[in-house]
Amino acid sequence: MQSNRLGWILLAPTLVILFFFGVVPFFYVLWLSFHQWNPFALDPAVVYNGADNFRALVFDSGFLASLGVTLAFVFFAVLSELIVGYLLAQAFLKDFPGKAIFRTIHTLPLIMAPIIVGSIWKLMTTPSIGIIPSLLDSWFGFDLNIGTSAVAAFTVTVVMDIWHWTPLVTLTLIAALVSLPADPFEQAQIDGANKRQIFWHITLPMIAPALLATVFIRLMDALRTVDEVLMLTGGGPGSATRYLGVHIFKEVFPRTNYGYGSAVSIIVLYLTIVSCWLLYVALIAPRNKKA
């Protein structure tokens, strides 16, 4: 049929744009991370300094604090979303009147801009404006103040993430659960297996591929959470919710220390890739070996 030249011509605009706005920035930031460069410093030259930026990073308490809270945030948010999402998916399997409407409502948060989600939760939880602190105070005498309490701010960001992203887990798991064959479940019931055994030995292994795909997507997204947290807490109080993306945006970027900032960016990218890879090695690779 056609010569391949036409194919390359059709593909060219895509490749050119992704090259200039995807590939070049990556190599540029990688190159800068091995240099010292602050255009507003006394010496504005770009000087090669080997791995100095990365060495400094290991002792940067601001960065380490940010890394710690990010990992805690990702752990609590993604784990809760998986558990709640699975239970909700199970509750969607039976037919009941109005199911389509409930499903539509449940999908709603997914399309909302993260910054709007942050704005909504700010209005929900800011003391004296939000409904949540007021209810907690009148019901339990509990004082929720995301502006002063690190635990409160952290918890609210996790709850906000659960509110925003659990629907994605629910819907992907519904898709996985409805496509399961009925035979193994019937067989297990005949053999007298209880619900817990059925879950651990039949349901879980069978939905594992979909579950892992969901974990990957949620993990990547949770690691890069910025907008909603920036809006809700601005990373505070202190560094309680200054997750890696927030850290880059609020601390690294304004400090015009571009060489060091590039090193932080590269490490964040590296950690994202490595955490996904570790998950792959720990969960998927052993399964493949067994099979």
Partner 1 sequence: MRRQRTWLYLLFWTVVSFFTLFPIYWLFVISVKPAVELFSTPEVILSSVYWKNYVDVLNDETLRGYMVNSLIISTGNAFLVTVLGFLACYALSRFNLGGKESIFFWTITNRMAPPAVFLLPLFLLLTQVYRFGDFTLLDTKIGMILVYCTFNLPFAIWTLRPTIDGIPKELDEAAFVDGASAWTVITEIVLPLARPGLAVTLILTWVFAWNEYLLAATLTNFNARTLTTGLSEYVTTTGTEWGVMAAISMFTLIPALIVFSLVQRHIVAGLTFGAVKG
Considering only residues 226-265, where is the footprint of partner 1 by CB under 8 A? 226-227, 230-231, 244-245, 248-249, 252-253, 258, 261-262, 265
| Residue 54 binding partner 1, by CB under 8 A | no
DSSP per position, 122-148: HHHHSTTT-HHHHHHHHHH-----TTT
Pick 45 or 269: Cβ nearer partner 1: 269
Cβ(244)–Cβ(70) below 8 Å: yes
Residues numbered 89 to 108 that lie near partner 1 (CB under 8 A) are 91, 94, 96-99, 102, 104-108
Residues whose CB falls within 8 Å of the CB of residue 250, separated by 6 or more in sequence, listed in order: 230, 234, 235, 242
| Residue 7 binding partner 1, by CB under 8 A | yes
Buried b (16+ CB within 10 A) or exposed e, 100-119: eeeeeeeeebeeeebeebbb
**Measuring CA to CA, which residue among 79, 57, 83, 104 is closest to residue 244?**
57
**Contacting partner 1 (CB under 8 A), which of 65, 82, 124, 198?**
124
Q: Cα dist. 112→104, 117, 175 in Å?
A: 14, 7, 22
Residue 220: CB minimum distance to partner 1, A: 6
Cβ(50)–Cβ(34) below 8 Å: yes
Tokens of 135: 């209810």
Judged by CB under 8 A, the stretch of 147-155, 170-178, 183-191, 193-201 that binds partner 1 is 170-178
Residues numbered 13 to 32 that lie near partner 1 (CB under 8 A) are 13-15, 17-18, 20-22, 24-26, 28-29, 32
Residues numbered 180 to 209 that lie near partner 1 (CB under 8 A) are none
Pick 93 or 201: Cβ nearer partner 1: 93
| Residue 141 binding partner 1, by CB under 8 A | no
Pick 45 or 201: Cβ nearer partner 1: 45
Pick 24 or 64: Cβ nearer partner 1: 24
**Contacting partner 1 (CB under 8 A), which of 112, 151, 274, 278?**
112
Q: In this structure, how many other beta carbons lie within 10 angstroms of the beta carbon of residue 228? A: 23
